[in-house]
Amino acid sequence: MRLLMYLALLTWTTVSTALPLETIKLPPGFSIELWARVSNARQMALGATDDKGGVLYVGSRGAGTVHAVRFDSTYRAGTVIRIAAGLEMPSSLAWRKGALYVGAVNRILRYDDIDRRLERAPLPVVVTDSLPRDTHHGWKFIAFGPDGKLYVPVGAPCNICEPGDPYAAMLRMNADGTGREIYARGIRNSVGFDWSPVDGALWFTDNGRDMLGDEIPPDELNRAPRAAMHFGYPYCHGGEIADPEFGARRKCAEFEPPAQKLGPHVAGLGMRFYAGTMFPPEYRNQIFIAEHGSWNRSKKIGYRIALVRVKDGRAVSYESFASGWLQGESAWGRPADVLVLPDGSLLVADDHAGAIYRISYRKP
């Protein structure tokens, strides 16, 4: 039995390390490396860092686990430690004042003083357990905003429906779970957002509805600089496409159009503004988006890191930054999140390959 277990582990290790990173296409001067192996890696959150290194936390959707990855002062990954297991879709993480917050469908859990207790993680404190229990679009992406509030999206529990509050909305609450309110509505399923380092506005990705064909509707990148905005779901998609079932009830002109239309069904997930200094200056304050890739088109698209350039608070272009996880109609990886390390390099989580990559830049 032990021999069989060893052989199984050896086989997994051999397969898991044989990732064809040579297929990844990047602009000149950029390089990509395998940084760590983490099963079903989804949202990432950075813990405290100092001159000795730090900790990266990684959630999962299907594995039900949360991992911590130690890294040293040169930002090289070391030990990977599982700090939680048996959770329901704990894909979302946020770190604040030494505590790790984990979104698990209807619950937000908090692991206090976690950076110093990785080997013996504390029992979690329940911040809230009153979010909807629906697992359809029930996995999340969470983050603390500049206002100190925890932002938590609640996806629509369907492909297309009129579910009412608090579904299809962006919620925010105090760090202890009190004071919950709806910040924005009309959001089908956001699994990534960040705040502009220039003007503090919230930007977020939103996955468009299915079953209208290959080319419509587009996925969306939206901008919400203030509360109480409505982004159209389920009545209007992409700012101008009336839904065939619900579109007659309200006009597209009533809603906020996308800041940038993304590819149809590319499944934009995690996104971050680049505030580092390693990359050339033209990348500063621009948006990187992990496009998880389509499952519902006759020809697949996405499976890449997209770049949206922003000027004066407006999206001005949408292009590929890193591609190659999709080869023909076969994908060996699926980007799920991006995160900028303090040295300015960019981490990419891949839940399909169970990997985290690090993209660095050196002037050619």
User: How far is 203 from 220, CA to CA, in rounded Å?
Assistant: 10
Helices (H) and strands (E) in the chain, counts: 1, 29
The phi, psi pair for 287, rounded to 5°, reads -110, 125
User: How far is 336 from 352, CA to CA, in rounded Å?
Assistant: 9
User: How far is 257 from 238, CA to CA, in rounded Å?
Assistant: 7
DSSP class of 349: E
What's the pLDDT at 83?
A: 97
Q: Which two tokens stand for residue 317?
A: 């272009």
Set out the domains of the chain in order of their start, with CATH numbers.
21-361 (2.120.10.30)
What's the pLDDT at 18?
A: 83
CB 214 within 8 A of CB 238: no
What's the pLDDT at 17?
A: 59
Distances from the Cα of 73 to the Cα of 70, 194, 339, angstroms: 10, 26, 17
Convert 58-73 to b/e letters by CB count within 10 Å (16 or more is b). Answer: bbbbebbbbbbbbbee
User: How far is 180 from 98, CA to CA, in rounded Å?
Assistant: 22
User: How far is 65 from 313, CA to CA, in rounded Å?
Assistant: 37
DSSP class of 115: G
What's the pLDDT at 30?
A: 98
DSSP class of 9: H
For residue 137, what are the contacts with CB-CB under 8 A and spacing of at least 6?
A: 155, 156, 157, 158, 188, 189
DSSP class of 258: P
Q: Which two tokens stand for residue 140?
A: 């999340």
- Give the DSSP H or E segment for 12: helix 2-17
Q: Which tens digits make up the pLDDT trace of 6-43?
A: 333 332 333 345 899 999 999 999 999 999 999 999 99
- Give the DSSP H or E segment for 13: helix 2-17
In the chain, which residues have pLDDT < 50? 1-16
Q: Which residue from 302, 305, 318 is spatially nearest to 358, judged by alpha carbons?
A: 305
First to last CA, the chain: 52
Question: If phi over 0 gives left and psi between -120 and 50 gives alpha, with beta otherwise, what is residue 101?
Answer: beta
What's the pLDDT at 364?
A: 87
SS3 label, residue 33: strand
